[in-house]
Structure 1
Amino acid sequence: MMNNILCEAGRLADKIKRGKIFSSTDVVISSIRSIGKLVSKVRDVETLKNIYPVAVRELIQSRQTSALLLNSLRELTKTLVNSLEETRDLREISTRINLKVHEIEKSIRDKNRTVAKIASNRILDGDTILVNSYSTVVYEAISYAISEGKKLSVYIPESRPGNEGVFFARKLAKLTDVTLFVDSAVRHFMKDVDKVFTSAEAIAANGALINKVGTSIIALVAHEARVRFFSLAATTKFYPETFLGELVELNRISLKLEEEGRDLEGEIDAYSPLFDVTPPEYIDAIITEKGLIAPQAVVIIIQELYGWPPKIPSLESEFIKLQEVIG
């Protein structure tokens, strides 16, 4: 029974780990919904105590770079612990958890909408915007700008591994003119670009941006060409643990060699990081639901959110509370 309940979360974690879900927003919404379903299926608190931490850890391990995933699952876990302190009625607990899932999901969408609207104000009529990977909030920002009558074009690299850029280009082509190119040509095309818009997996306390691999090269080239670089990230993507000195672990995957390189299989190792780190000095502004902020102001926002000194409850401490509450 326990294994059956864990299966769905495990399948989702595997899908995320293999990069089959492109958007960090989609990853988080899928994950919290999965946990909501898991809690609904549990028939006793002892089973809940055993499987809940396993499922949550597995989902976090699948996308360790995602601050939004960690922050959302931490919030969900706090709700579970608080609910168990008040009642052992699993139906009531399930109701509270799934209400929290809907609340988190609505908050994510509302904040993304605000970020997108603010970002769209930076787009001028006739602009060429370079984007990277696939992002729901960047798509929304471009959609808003077009709905306001602004004419613009979009440049986008393939965004390997995963080729999310191809998927994004197909979607954007329904709205405006799109130019798709190989990742290595970004410096060649930057001379035609007015602004760069990217999303974020996480924003560190020093203002550094963790995002799809290739983002840091784009930022470096944009800096060289004096093209403004903007990261669109709600404050829920800020990684508070980095304030306390923790590092964000970057995922990497094994690569299958292309046909012309198959003869090298077994002789060489082929890997690719999924994410990289862009230094704050290459970022002109981070666009949040609170407005545009300089990367150097991230630490101030973290202080506003978590107090001073910052009180950042770790997920593991919440798991310990869960064990203690159930007994």
Structure 2
Amino acid sequence: MDDVEQKPLSPAELKKLKKAEKAARRKEQKGEQGVSQAPQQNRHKPSNKAKPDSTKPGTTAHKKSASTDTQSTSQYALGTLLGHLELRPRLGAPVPEDVNSAVFELAVRMSAFQVLGSTERCRQMLLAFQRMIREYRTPPDTLMARSLNTHLGKQIEYLKQARPLSVSMGNAIRWLKQEISKCLNDSEDVVKDNLVNAIEDFIRDKLDAASQVISQLAVPQINDGAVIMTFAHSSVVSKVLRDAKRGGKDFRVIVVDSRPLLEGKKLLQELQAADIPCSYVFMTGLHYVLSEVTAVVLGAHAMFSNGMLYSRAGTALVAQSATDRNIPVLVYCESIKFSDRVQLDALTTNELGRPEDMNLQIGANTSVKALHVLYDLTPPDCIRKIVTELGNLPPSSVPVVIREYRNS
């Protein structure tokens, strides 16, 4: 019998046939590996009995982890938590090109922490800029105001290499640039005279007169027999207390200080020279003397628009301790230190001091890392009022003052 001639399969039929053959092979493989597949699945599942918990004490993994953590705790803190804070190198000779000698001298002194206090740093910066303007020579075929603005930027950048600019310095620089922009079409001599006189007026109005007005407002608030506590050194606090003594007020001052800068020693010397009875204690003795205190007065590095006081590290502890005992806390602060910034913690933005200033006797222990943070934040709840040249203000009025200042 002749073989029946098979018809060729269509592409659809071929695809269906291959699919059926593949399914048959897969079914056959599953049947062969059915016994061994269950152990393989169990092997991939985690078993609480077979796998020890590395977080439990006593395990090898836990011991290694604890050892590693102990050795790198401080490095982790510096590298992760405060790694964004930069420690400026100590500046020195030679004088960089395009940097005025007065600015160079100030930067070196700031780098060595010989100029402390935001008010004093702002004053010295303006005096250095004043000398720089007098000595500046305009390049040929350029306008004095335009070239001076560029030259000023180089001086500012060099000062930043020494230390971060304070809020008062930043506000003063912003004002100076506005003054330069008003002199675009004036001659070199006219520009120099206008700027030199403007800087003198700014120092007189925003620094000297402001502290004088604050003193006039604050002195009547000091009662006879008061025991006033203050922390570190503030030029305006020193002036208020000395003026109160000259005005016949009878009071006593407790100066709280902390290492490594020991700024309170300078305030102590100034108050003793004015015949003001003083006591000097370190931060560790704060709670032993608070029972005698009737008021706490503090200086400020800056006041932020959310009412936070930004000042020397330790200020927050003094203010909080006094608030817990219902002791009023007053802040003496010039409006030049007001900032529109909002800061919620002292870690996001801060400044590192030099670790060698702490003078730690750590020997060859390389696992110890010295950390010197310069500032902290005091919440507005701990501040009774802020005494400024504009009057007595609550912390919530800081943004109002900034807005009015800019509109004027």
Q: Same fold (TM over 0.5)?
A: yes
Distance 2:360 2:304 in 1: 39
One of 73, 82, 100 as aligned partner of 2:198 = 100
Question: 1:75: which partner in 2?
Answer: 175
Mapped partners of 2:359, 2:113: distance in 1: 21
Q: State the partner residue of 1:66.
A: 166
Q: State the AA in 2 paired with 1:154.
A: V
- The share of aligned pairs that are identical, in percent, is 20
Amino acid at match of 1:270: A
Distance 1:119 1:62, change over 3 A: farther
**TM-superposition CA deviations, 1:267-311 (whole Å, max 9, x none):** 32112111111111111101011211111122222222224xxx9
Aligned twin of 2:375:
275
What's the TM-score, normalizing by structure 2?
0.69
1:13/1:59 contact within 8 Å kept = yes
Classify 1:152/1:62 alpha carbon distance in 2 versus 1 (closer, same or farther; 3 Å): farther
Aligned pair in 2 of structure 1 residues 119, 105: CA closer, same or farther (>3 Å)? same
Give 1:9's aligned residue.
103
Q: Secondary structure at the match of 1:256?
A: helix
- Residue 90 (str. 1) matches residue 188 (str. 2): yes
Deviations 1:1-38 (A, max 9, x none): 97264343133123224432223221111000101111
- The one of the two structures with greater contact order (alpha-carbon pairs below 8 A, sep at least 6) is 1
Give the alignment's TM-score, normalised by structure 1: 0.85
1:189-208 counterparts in 2 under 5 A? 189-208=289-308
Contact conserved, 1:64 with 1:250, CA < 8 A, in 2? Answer: no
Match of 2:283 among 183, 191, 201: 183
AA partner of residue 142 (structure 1): L
Compute the displacement of 1:260 (Å): 6.4
SS at match of 1:3: coil
Answering whether residue 133 of structure 2 is matched by residue 39 of structure 1, we say yes
1:213–1:4: structure 2 CA closer, same or farther, 3 Å change rule? same
**In the alignment, what sits opposite 1:133?**
232
- Relative distance call for 1:49 and 1:67 in structure 2 (3 A) is closer
Residue in 2 that maps onto 1:150: 249
Q: CA separation in 2, counterparts of 1:281 and 1:61? A: 35
Q: More displaced, 89-98 or 1-10?
A: 1-10
Q: How far is the alpha carbon of 1:232 from its aligned partner?
A: 0.4
Q: Distance in 2 between matches of 1:66 and 1:239?
A: 10
Could you say if the C-alpha distance between residues 266 and 40 of structure 1 is closer, same or farther in structure 2, counting changes exceeding 3 Å?
A: farther
Q: Which runs of 5+ in 2 are unaligned?
A: 1-94
Check conservation: 1:242, 1:248, Cα contact below 8 A.
Answer: no
Match in the other structure for 1:300? 400
**1:289 pairs with 2:383:** no
The answer to whether the 8 A contact 1:161-1:274 is kept is no
8 Å contact kept, 2:225–2:250? yes
Match of 1:24 in 2: 118
Q: Can you give the 5+ residue segments of structure 1 that lack an aligned partner in the other structure?
A: 312-327
What residue number does 1:323 align with? none
Please tell me whether Structure 1 or Structure 2 has the larger radius of gyration of its CA atoms: 2
Residue identity opposite 1:239 in structure 2: S
Contact conserved, 1:64 with 1:249, CA < 8 A, in 2? no
Secondary structure of the residue aligned to 2:376 is: strand
Q: 1:93: Cα distance to partner?
A: 1.8
**Superposition CA RMSD, Å:** 2.4
Shift of 1:258: 6.1
Q: Secondary structure at the match of 1:239?
A: coil
Q: Number of aligned pairs?
A: 303
Partner Cα distance (2:232, 2:364) in 1: 29
Q: Report the CA distance shift for 1:14/1:280 in structure 2 as closer, same or farther (over 3 A).
A: farther
Question: Residue deviations 1:94-140, cap 9 Å, x none?
Answer: 21111111011101110111011211121100111111121121111
Counterparts of 2:126 and 2:359, CA distance in 1: 39
Moved more, 43-52 or 6-15: 43-52
Distance 2:366 2:309 in 1: 35
